[in-house]
Chain A
Amino acid sequence: MIFPDRSGFFHPGFFLALVLFAAPAPALAFRIFVTNEKGNSVSVIDTDKQQVVETVPVGRRPRGVSISPDGKLLYVCASDDNAINVLDVATMKIVRSLESGPDPERFALNQAGDLLYIANEDNAEVTVVDLAKNLILAQIPVGVEPEGMGLSPNGELLVATSETTNMAHFIDTRSYKLIDSVLVGKRPRIAVFNRSGAQVWVSSELGGDVSVIDASSHKIIRKITFDIPGLTREEIQPVGVVLTSDGKKAFVALGYANRVAVVDQQTFAVEKYLLVGVRVWHLAFTPDEKLLYTTNGNSNDVTVIDVARERVIKSISVGLEPNDLVSSLH
């Protein structure tokens, strides 16, 4: 490196990016950032070309990934480094590493983009980090092996899942107090709020179901189960869940079943299964919600789904053991 590169500002890529942004943008090309858990890297997919355009090294065992509300920074859990890497999206260089507490697996970023809520798998805590100050504000004890982190749209309620305790923990983000814990199916993985914030959907990998929880009463409204002919219940392991913002569809990644389930958000009926890749873990929409991408941990690829037609378009090879993914905002 010729230039000191702490901020990324002096990197030649920054100027290149400026030029690219200044040029008239092609119709809605996004970039998908995929963490490769075993590859210790992030693969960057161009949604126009539908191929990997860049692979960048990050910390060890990268898993959860998120993007700042302004789309400029990428946050990556480097689980084996006990840190969060912050990458400049324009240069794809690591500009900072943040305090995270031990073994960070997944996290949630608030809408203001100044607070990060991190699940510390090893010590049964949720760590709250002030991003500007790189300061741990609170460590909230929860159940064993916390993983999923869902933040309500207004940012007031955080739901953390604990894989071993089998609970969804409701946390008040103003007081950092645990206000309730709801027992769900075995090995809960992901918690995600719907657009209105009225419901939290929690996937249970070993329970084989998705619990839909009323966000104010904390009661389970519905348990969605999945039935695929020829597969045993043990092979159907829901992990990733995403909900369309129009309140119509939900997509659930079913792990060992190698399929994504399409669910009606209103009736909770499972409508369809899409065969994607081996060990499908997580899902991410492009911001226009036209395309859905899945990480397939054991076939080392990402599947592209046409959301409107509910069809698989393509598989794209990425690094070793892709885990999580997120789209660029622009």
Chain B
Amino acid sequence: MFGKALPIFGIWAGLVAAAAAQTAVSEPQASPNEAPWPCAQRRTPTISAAAVWAGPDIAKAGDWEQDSEAAALAEKLASRRTPLSEIGGLLDDFVKKAGADKDQRLTRVFAGALALINRERDRIIAGIAHFAEGQERLAERVRKESEEVADDADKGAADAKALAEAKVEFAWDKRIFAERSQSLTYVCETPGILEQRAFEIARRIQEKL
């Protein structure tokens, strides 16, 4: 009976082990008061402009939201629906009509794209933390159910109906847990993908300055 419960613990233990392994490689310890973080990737805060940008000071470029063309381009660049391969062309079009203060306006485009990417990234990170809490509760329930199934089985065929029901419930929760864990590994990659995107946008813009 115990054997049935093992795959679940395997998944969860694997997740925890992966997180631990990642911590051991190159990551500092997370502070203990932070919400649970289920990803192997380190939880990194908002991407600071300086981490990806060596161009002009964005604080001196003016408010990007007031420059409607810059804002529209920033939105397009930040959107994951825009393939990275299209960034160069979009920037070329903007540069052509950017006018005398081209560099300043390109800096605004970067500021806008970074702000929008950070907004999305923060939302995803909050979502992952929320999801982790739910998954912890589900893990606890699956563990209890597996114990109940084992207990019922030990009691013999006295309550065959209860045992059958418990087994079904257990199987469902186990499946939901496993599927969620799988989608989690994908979701965990998103903050990193967005950081790559921010870096790539910054790089392309700096090439035009």
Contacts and interface: CB of A to CB of B under 8 A. Distances in A.
Contacts of A232: 48
Interface residues on A, range: 20 to 34
Given A121-B24, A206-B28, A256 B51 contact: yes
Interface string A218-240: 00000000001111101100010
B50 interface: yes
A206 B200 CA distance: 26
B129 interface: no
A180 to B, nearest CB: 26
A299 B26 contact: no
Interface residues of B, number: 18
B195 A275 contact: no
Nearest to B29: A206
A209 interface: no
Contacts of B48: 230-232, 235
A88 interface: no
A152 interface: no
A299 B193 CA distance: 8
Contact of A275 (B24, B54, B200): B54
A145 to B, nearest CB: 7
Contacts of A187: 28
Given A121-B24, A206-B28, A231 B199 contact: no
A299 B200 contact: yes
Q: Which 6 A-B pairs have the closest CB atoms?
A: A230-B50, A275-B54, A231-B50, A278-B199, A299-B196, A258-B51
Given A205-B26, A229-B50, A300-B196, 15 more contacts: A230-B48, A230-B49, A230-B51, A231-B50, A231-B51, A234-B28, A239-B26, A256-B44, A257-B51, A275-B52, A275-B54, A278-B196, A278-B199, A298-B196, A299-B199
Interface of B: 24, 26, 28, 44, 48-54, 192, 195-196, 199-200, 203, 206
